[in-house]
Chains A and B, each alone.
Chain A
Amino acid sequence: MKSLDPRVNRLPVIGVPGQILPKATLDQFGTYEVFVQPKDGKPFQHEGIVHAPDLEMGFVLAKEAFTRRFTCVSLYVTDTRNVYVSPMTDGTVSAYDFVHDVEPQSGEKTSYEIYHLLKRGKQHQHMGTVQAVTPQEAMLEAKKVFKTDKVAFNIWAVRTSDIRFTTPEEKELWLTLPEKKFRDAADYKGGDKLKEFLERQN
């Protein structure tokens, strides 16, 4: 019988001596940005990225990559190339101060989602939606509506139609999550067990 261990059949093939080949130029999937809503009423927050062959697979893989442990009521993804980013500031001024006026654009306005980075090292948070022709104009619109005393280190704009949202029927995807405490390392109470073990040793 052949080995049942999948690793055995997946070992790299032995090469031909003397043969030197270029590594494939593009042998990885592209990236998709993942936004998660931890609770109803809380804003969506950027959680990270997933690699995926397309937007739909990005959505599917994001669900387990980012919401297999902590509470989640909804998530959405967009192709990294659809995220427009303002200049970053050092926090003494708002990123909106670096968003310069542009001539009013002709064309049809569409909806854009706006995100602020409110603390260095934290994640971008959803602020709201504006209507604009271009991403630049979207940030200018956002400046009127969302700029407050709380400094935004950085601003993102994503066209709403470029986002794969959770559908209302899919909102049930996270219903059994609260019962999966076993996915959380803390649930194993490793520290307590170690203490108990050490005490037994003495």
Chain B
Amino acid sequence: MNETALKELLYKVADDLLILGHRNSEWTGFGPLLEEDIAFSSMAQDKIGQSHALYTILNSLGESDPDTIAFTRNANQFHNCMLVELPNGEYDFSLIRHFLYDTAEAIRFEMLSTSSFQPIADLSKKIRAELRYHTLHANTWVKQLGTATEESISKLQQALDYTMPFALGMFEESPYEKELIEGGIFGGEKALKEKWVKKVEEIISQTRLRLLDWKVVQPVMGGRTGKHSEYLQPLLDEMSEVFRIDPSAEW
């Protein structure tokens, strides 16, 4: 098994989950209604839990322990796509990001559930239920707000148009696509993107939202190789503040 390729895959998936989990948790206490605040916070917690599980697998492959991986790297050492690090903005953006990201995440783990690397196949099966809820939540909101009022439709539409180039950056290919596919570890970013496009179209077609022509949207790449926006480092500084003050702190 190509361990470099495998680790690259695990790092990017885990980093996406950690950073988006942290971003989404920033809504805790500020959600648009109490029930949504609770649901969104729970899902943020799920994502951080999922990233922890992946960092634990990386640890078993010889990498540092999960806390060290999560809290001591600088922005340019993170492999997350830029989509997940963008500031929350208004709820329409956070919701559309949640929809576009979680749709991809659910498909990615569905593909990984048949991986030749057993620990990731096992984890995929274990978290399937969580992802089912995350996508149910995202799809239901998008369908509801995407058909509700002129205001909700136009807000979601603007968020969708703004977010799409970043969303396509999720599928930035790794240098090891061929090794991953041939080794049966992961079916590759191209295959994932194809399935994702179908699913996104299926949900959006049930609303009054429109998708831009896929061919004209320019993906925002670079995140997978450590190139990030100005927003990632401040997030990391805040996330790791307690750890940096006292690495042995427990609560």
Q: Which residues of A contact B231 (CB under 8 A)?
A: 4
Let me know if A51 is at the binding interface, CB within 8 A: yes
**Assembled-state Cα–Cα distance A125/B238 (Å):** 46
Which residues of B, 127-141, contact A by the 8 Å Cβ criterion?
127-130, 132-133, 136-137, 140-141
Let me know if B3 is at the binding interface, CB within 8 A: no
Q: Are A172 and B129 in contact (CB under 8 A)?
A: yes
Q: Which residues of A contact B49 (CB under 8 A)?
A: 180
**Assembled-state Cα–Cα distance A1/B89 (Å):** 13
CB contact under 8 A between A173 and B35, given known A6-B30, A7-B30, A57-B144: no
Q: Are A4 and B234 in contact (CB under 8 A)?
A: yes
Size of the chain A interface, CB-CB below 8 angstroms: 31
* Stretch among A60-68, A106-114, A145-153 lining the B interface: A60-68
Q: Which residues of A contact B137 (CB under 8 A)?
A: 60
Which residues of A, 28-69, contact B by the 8 Å Cβ criterion?
29, 50-54, 56-57, 60-65, 68
**Assembled-state Cα–Cα distance A127/B136 (Å):** 30
Let me know if A186 is at the binding interface, CB within 8 A: no
CB contact under 8 A between A52 and B128, given known A10-B30, A57-B140, A68-B42: no
Size of the chain B interface, CB-CB below 8 angstroms: 35
Q: Who on chain A is nearest to B136 by CB? A: A60
Q: Are B33 and A29 in contact (CB under 8 A)?
A: yes
Q: Are B38 and A65 in contact (CB under 8 A)?
A: yes
Closest beta carbon of chain B to A102's beta carbon, Å: 38
CB contact under 8 A between A64 and B132, given known A4-B231, A51-B35, A53-B148: no
Q: Are B129 and A54 in contact (CB under 8 A)?
A: no
Closest beta carbon of chain A to B231's beta carbon, Å: 7
Which residues of A, 153-202, contact B by the 8 Å Cβ criterion?
170, 172-176, 180, 183, 188
Which residues of A, 87-140, contact B by the 8 Å Cβ criterion?
none
Q: Which residues of B contact A183 (CB under 8 A)?
A: 45
CB contact under 8 A between A53 and B230, given known A6-B26, A64-B42: no
Q: Who on chain A is nearest to B90 by CB? A: A9
**Assembled-state Cα–Cα distance A84/B234 (Å):** 53
**Assembled-state Cα–Cα distance A51/B49 (Å):** 28
Q: Which residues of A contact B230 (CB under 8 A)?
A: 1
Q: Which residues of B contact A50 (CB under 8 A)?
A: 35
Which residues of B, 16-43, contact A by the 8 Å Cβ criterion?
26-27, 30, 33-36, 38-39, 42-43
Closest beta carbon of chain A to B146's beta carbon, Å: 12
Q: Who on chain B is nearest to A49 by CB? A: B35
**Assembled-state Cα–Cα distance A175/B127 (Å):** 9
Let me know if B73 is at the binding interface, CB within 8 A: no
Let me know if B195 is at the binding interface, CB within 8 A: no
Q: Are A60 and B140 in contact (CB under 8 A)?
A: yes
Q: Are A61 and B129 in contact (CB under 8 A)?
A: no
**Assembled-state Cα–Cα distance A109/B34 (Å):** 39
**Assembled-state Cα–Cα distance A188/B251 (Å):** 7
Q: Are B27 and A6 in contact (CB under 8 A)?
A: yes
Nearest 9 CB-CB pairs, A to B? A64-B39, A61-B35, A172-B129, A175-B129, A64-B42, A50-B35, A60-B140, A65-B35, A64-B38
Instruction: Give A contacts to B, CB under 8 Å.
Output: 1-2, 4, 6-7, 9-10, 29, 50-54, 56-57, 60-65, 68, 170, 172-176, 180, 183, 188
List 23 contacting pairs A-B, 8 Å CB cutoff, sorted by A: A1-B230, A4-B87, A6-B30, A6-B88, A6-B89, A9-B90, A10-B30, A50-B35, A52-B35, A53-B144, A56-B140, A56-B144, A57-B140, A64-B35, A65-B38, A65-B39, A68-B42, A170-B136, A173-B129, A173-B133, A176-B129, A180-B49, A188-B251
